[in-house]
Amino acid sequence: DIVMTQSHKFMSTSVGDRVSITCKASQDVSTAVAWYQQKPGQSPKLLIYWASTRHTGVPDRFTGSGSGTDFTLTISNVQAEDLALYYCQQHYFTPFTFGSGTKLEIK
Amino acid sequence: EVKLEESGGGLVQPGGSMKLSCVASGFTFSNYWMSWVRQSPEKGLEWVAEIRLKSDNYGTHYAESVKGKFTISRDDSKSRLYLQMNSLRAEDTGIYYCIRLVYAMDHWGQGTSVTVSS
């Protein structure tokens, strides 16, 4: 199975800052990576797929990049409502696999 | 508006069975691959199974951890997705989400909680 590693369990940032969350795949997945946001008490929501394509309705503050094994989700001009867990996921091969999540904390 | 609503979760004893259901609305259900994903504090998010279209002979794929125990199925006439779970163990405990697949998992239900415990 492809292992998706999010090395930072927590990240802290301030409103208005820019933050980058990283994810590493254990093998080449081309650009078949998605990012999800999960707010407390809610189900995950798709933000980005194919590494850099924003899902419908996602603010352009959210940007995805990367290919091969290294991927980044960048949130510009962080808002208080961005407090959440962020997961990466490869959608290249089944079994689809997720990272363990990065919790974004707002100072 | 796309909506996915799961039901059927609850408490079940180890070795027991349970069938989850998901009703879809707001889109043409028969045109989409569908999937189940579960979430637990111990294992995080875990893809469980997917089912393809009638034109794909309703092909299915499963995570190794549930292969032979779980069966995913669909009824396109009712816009419903199912997950039959047998031989349940404590490690199957979690929130089970019904998901529409379009490249990635583009819509998720609110989830239904399954607890396997005596």
**pLDDT tens digit string along B15-71?**
999 999 999 999 999 999 999 999 999 999 999 999 999 999 999 999 999 999 999
In chain B, DSSP finds a helix count (H) and a strand count (E) of: 0, 11
Tokens of A100: 């363990």
| Chain B interface includes A87 (CB < 8 A) | yes
> Among all chains, which residue has been given the structure tokens 């590693």?
A5
Counting Cα atoms < 13 Å in the Cβ hemisphere of A92 gives: 21
Q: How many residues belong to chain A? A: 107
Considering CB atoms only, which of B47, B103, B105 is closest to A97? B47
CA A32 to chain B, closest CA, distance in angstroms equals 8
What is the widest separation between alpha-carbon atoms in chain B?
42
| Chain A interface includes B117 (CB < 8 A) | no
CA A77 to chain B, closest CA, distance in angstroms equals 25
φ, ψ of residue A39 to 5 degrees: the values are -85, 160
pLDDT tens for A28-38 read: 999 999 999 99
pLDDT score at B103: 82
| Chain A interface includes B1 (CB < 8 A) | no
| Among B66, B110, B9, B113, residue whose Cα is nearest residue A42 | B110
Question: A94 and B61: CB-CB below 8 Å?
Answer: yes
CA A102 to chain centre: 8
